[in-house]
Amino acid sequence: MSERGSIIYLEGVTVDFDGFKALLNLNFIVDYRELRVVIGPNGAGKTTLLDVISGKVKPVAGRVVFGKDTDLIGLREHEIATLGIGRKFQTPSVYSNLSVWENLDLSLKRTSKGVFATLVSKPDRAEIEKIASTLETIGLAEKADDRAGALSHGEKQWLEIGMVLLQDPALLLIDEPVAGMTDRETEQTGLLLQSLADRRSIIVIEHDMEFVRQIARTVTVLHEGTVLCEGPVEKVQADPRVVEIYLGRQKEADAAAAR
Amino acid sequence: MGSKINNERERGEGLAFWLTGFLLLVIMPLLNVLPGPDSWLHVSDFALNRFGKFLAFGILALGLDLIWGYTGILSLGHGVFFGLGAYAVGMHLMLTIGTESVYGSMLPDFMVWNQVKALPFFWKPFYSFWFAVAAAILLPTLFAAIFGFLTFRSRIKGVYFAIITQALALSAWLVFNRNDTNLGGTNGLTDFKQVLGFRLSDPGTQRTLYVLTVLSLGAAHLLCRWITRSRTGKVLVAIRDSEQRVLFSGYSPGNYKLFVFVVSGALAGLAGALYVPQVGIITPAQIGVLPSLEMVIWVAVGGRGTLIGAVVGAVGVNWARSILTSSFPDLWPFFLGGLFIAVVLLIPDGLVGLWRRALAWWRGLGRQTAIPEPEGKG
């Protein structure tokens, strides 16, 4: 742990899916204002890691601590979200039948998100300004009144990023943000994420190594539910064990293709 | 901030609301009272009474639309909430028959028949009219709250929720059918004579009940409109579109579902309370699995996800039913099934969706405009 302390601290976390250990005695720490990229082959436990932090999956052992001393184990998803952990899913999940504006409006951080508070709440000026500026950030200002279901794939991804941003999370969990994006969209997304890391901590799961090189400062490699190695991109890429698990898979795939 | 199409729609709906209200509340009763029975403008007592029944169903359809059309949760058990409201008022009406009954006893006829000697304890509070009316709303509200709390807390959703609510309808039917439940068994509650001293056979009483039904429908519509246009209403649609996103945005979808389920249960109870004195009978056959399914079909036909569609569907399907069952009583189930299949395949957004598309097409004749997307998917 650094002197400032960590934003998220996982110790000895094990997740068991009917005997399959998706995470095994995992230790994982992210500092304040850090942009961390998590890579690893399929089934390494990357998405499960985000599931544990956001409360979707309950570990059978271990500790998950948010900020100074908030224990996340046992909290429900919406409670964790309210604490300041935002999550962007791999496939864009937006509200297709609401307008882009309404999508953002519902996501905005509010003092209460209970049924009755929401029933009588009225939009106020500060909120409208926040939504408008987020629309600029994600480049959808022109489409505020459009049905979200009518957006392109890349636009939906950005809309969801915008929705998560309006929750004003201290920690942002992002699962494969550039899957299915064009090169230009990928680059813009990279710039967007880097600018966001100035004020908050971000954990990104990514497959696209070029994208990883563009945004990453520190990379964590997961393999079979535990951390294989951790460090700057160049160091990690040169690590023989990382080469082994990636190339090993590649060799198997080649062999399978040759058969 | 809604889209332009929505704003235009909201204005149109407001106008339609007041026009329909005027028609139902003023014109219809006037046409019942003023023109002579031979005039072609005359609305007969029978027709007005029948329409009152349809409008009571409209109240139920509004509530069902809130939970199914807006929130995307299919309930196949709304007949139960309807039945609780109907039986609560029906029990009061049974007690006001007094010695006018066939056996001349203070006890309801079916109890004399079943050799029940004293009025069961849970019947006693229903001597009070106001208790019965309050119970007609509060019983289904409370029941929906308990049932909803247990199911939504366990995160039961989709087809599992539909099956559980259908099982609920079946078990309610079984319970109400039993003679030892002391609720009239298979024959239900009927043969009512009066309410608050007014004879139910008097056209004036029925006219008043009709007006009360219209006013209740109007109030229910305003309540649902307020909910659906509020931010909570947007959360309901959001739950239908992506419950996971709602959850990870800091809302508890379970609480929202519970809220809308309870509102919809209360509206179904109100509908039942207004139905009973106008129709004069309530039996288990009206609250079981089949009627609960029919209620869903009303909403589908009218257009789910639009409040006006729910009411149009409830009135329209029941109107068609009363015409068809008088000429071809055996064909009704086939007609209903065929109607449902036709709606699902051909007009998934119901009559209101069809109307909107026709309107857009009509406007498009003059200038090229985009056809608005149907709202009620999912």
Dist. CA B95–CA A114, nearest whole Å: 43
Residue boundaries of the structural domains of chain A: 6-258
Taking each helix axis from N to C end, the angle separating B289-302 and B307-327, rounded to the nearest 10 degrees, works out to 120
Distance from CA of B254 to the nearest CA of A (A): 10
Is residue B368, in this structure, part of any structural domain at all? no
- Tens digit of pLDDT for each residue in A103-143? 999 999 988 899 999 999 988 899 999 999 999 988 899 99
For A131, the closest chain B residue by CA position comes to B1
Write down the mean pLDDT value for chain B.
Answer: 91
Is residue B150, in this structure, part of any structural domain at all? yes
8 Å CB contact of B375 and A115: no
Mean predicted confidence (pLDDT) in B177-182: 92
Predicted confidence at residue B369, as pLDDT, reads: 47
Token reading at A193:
């994420």
Mean predicted confidence (pLDDT) in A36-61: 92
Distance from CA of B135 to the nearest CA of A (A): 24
Task: List chain B residues with CB under 8 Å of A81.
Answer: 247-250
Of A216, A190, A171, which Cα lies nearest the Cα of A49?
A171
For A164, the closest chain B residue by CA position comes to B249
Q: pLDDT at residue B373 above 80?
A: no
8 Å CB contact of B373 and A114: no
B235, B243, B245: which to substitute to probe chain A, counting the most A Cβ within 10 Å?
Answer: B245
8 Å CB contact of A98 and B234: yes
Q: Where are the beta strands (DSSP E) in B176-225?
A: 189-190, 194-195, 198-199
Predicted confidence at residue A247, as pLDDT, reads: 66
Beta-ladder partners of A156? none
Q: pLDDT at residue B4 above 70?
A: no
Q: pLDDT at residue A253 above 80?
A: no
Domain count, chain B: 1
- Determine the residue type at B101: S
- Determine the residue type at B362: W
Task: List chain A residues with CB under 8 Å of B230.
Answer: 118-121
Dist. CA B2–CA A253, nearest whole Å: 51
- What Å distances lie between residue B44 and A12, B34, B40, B50, B208, CA to CA? 78, 11, 10, 10, 15
Mean predicted confidence (pLDDT) in B226-245: 95
- Listed in sequence order, the DSSP H helices in A197-239 are 209-215, 233-238
SS3 for A79-106 is HHHHHCEEEECCCCCCCCCCEHHHHHHH
At B152, the pLDDT band (50, 70, 90 cuts) reads very high
- What Å distances lie between residue A112 and A82, A170, B234, B251, CA to CA? 9, 18, 16, 9
Q: Where are the beta strands (DSSP E) in chain A?
A: 6-17, 20-31, 35-39, 61-66, 70-71, 85-88, 171-175, 201-205, 218-223, 226-231
Token reading at B253:
């979808």
Q: What is the ipTM of this complex?
A: 0.87
Classify domain A6-258 at the CATH superfamily level.
P-loop containing nucleotide triphosphate hydrolases (3.40.50.300)
Is residue B10, in this structure, part of any structural domain at all? yes
Looking at chain B, the whole-number percentage of residues with pLDDT higher than 70 is 94
Predicted confidence at residue B94, as pLDDT, reads: 95
8 Å CB contact of B1 and A95: no
Predicted confidence at residue A90, as pLDDT, reads: 86
B250 to chain A, any CB pair closer than 8 A? The answer is yes
Q: pLDDT at residue B121 above 70?
A: yes
Predicted confidence at residue B194, as pLDDT, reads: 92
For B223, the closest chain A residue by CA position comes to A119
8 Å CB contact of A97 and B378: yes
Dist. CA A249–CA B265, nearest whole Å: 56
Give residue B68's domain range.
Answer: 4-288
For residue B69, the 8-state DSSP code is I
Token reading at B59:
């109240």
Between residues B149 and B8, the one the model is more confident about: B149
- A interface toward B at CB cutoff 8 Å? 54, 76-78, 81-82, 86-87, 89, 93-99, 101-102, 105-107, 109-110, 113-115, 118-121, 123, 144-147, 149-150, 160, 163, 167
Is residue B68, in this structure, part of any structural domain at all? yes
Total beta-carbon pairs less than 8 A apart between chain A and chain B: 102
Is residue B30, in this structure, part of any structural domain at all? yes
Residue keyed to tokens 């009219």: B129
Between residues A33 and B66, the one the model is more confident about: B66
Other beta carbons within 10 angstroms of residue B151's beta carbon come to 21
Mean predicted confidence (pLDDT) in B191-197: 93
What lies within 8 Å, CB to CB, of A210 at 6+ separation is: none
- Three-class SS state of B181: helix
Looking at chain B, the whole-number percentage of residues with pLDDT higher than 90 is 71
Q: pLDDT at residue B6 above 80?
A: no
- Tens digit of pLDDT for each residue in A75-98? 999 999 999 999 999 888 999 999
Token reading at B118:
């004293």
Token reading at B228:
């659906």
Predicted confidence at residue B367, as pLDDT, reads: 55
The pTM for the full model equals 0.90
- Tens digit of pLDDT for each residue in A161-203? 999 999 999 999 999 888 888 888 888 888 888 888 888 899 9
For B245, the closest chain A residue by CA position comes to A93
